Amino acid sequence: MATEWNWEALPKSLAIYLWNSGSCNGCDSEFFALSGPRYDLERLGIQRVDSPCHADVLVVSGPVIASEAEMLRQIHSQMADPKIVIAIGACAVSGGIFRASRCLAGPLDAVLPVDVYVQGCPPRPEALIEGLTRAVIDLEGRRKSMEGRSLS
């Protein structure tokens, strides 16, 4: 069931950092399609950034090969709180077709705390937008809770 969200009410823009941790590029291609004229994600106030330091959301594709695990932890540690991690595609969610490989440190939740899982091989752009919707809701909840803590 689709999550209810009024995009007009997006209180702040959302900055996304995308990391490929061993994907076949299928998931990334679908994600890049969000920036094209058909989905035009920027009209919703969501844009990709080139540095994790500027990102609210870390989106990860691929099964997390062992050599990527430490890099992913470093990327995550560079992001300011509150932050959200989204695993996109069967490989990031569960290891997918690579899950029996000895070369993996993943799936993603074996390496980082994952907030949103988007299934599919690859997930369709609509499913990715649904995942981003959940990220917006989670992020706003965390922002409010952090503001509440700083006021008390």
Q: Which of residues 10-49 bind ligand SF4 (CB under 6 A)?
A: 23-24, 26-27
In what helix (H) or strand (E) does residue 92 lie, and over which residues does it extend?
Answer: helix 89-94
Residues 99-128, one symbol each (x = binds ligand SF4 by CB under 6 A, - = not), give: ----------------------xx------
d(CA 34, CA 86): 15
Measured from the CB atom, the residue of 127 and 137 that comes closer to ligand SF4 is: 127
d(CA 3, CA 108): 23
Contact in structure between 14 and 57 (CB atoms under 8 Å): yes
Measured from the CB atom, the residue of 14 and 23 that comes closer to ligand SF4 is: 23
Per CB under 6 A, residues contacting ligand SF4 are 23-24, 26-27, 61-62, 89-91, 96-97, 121-122
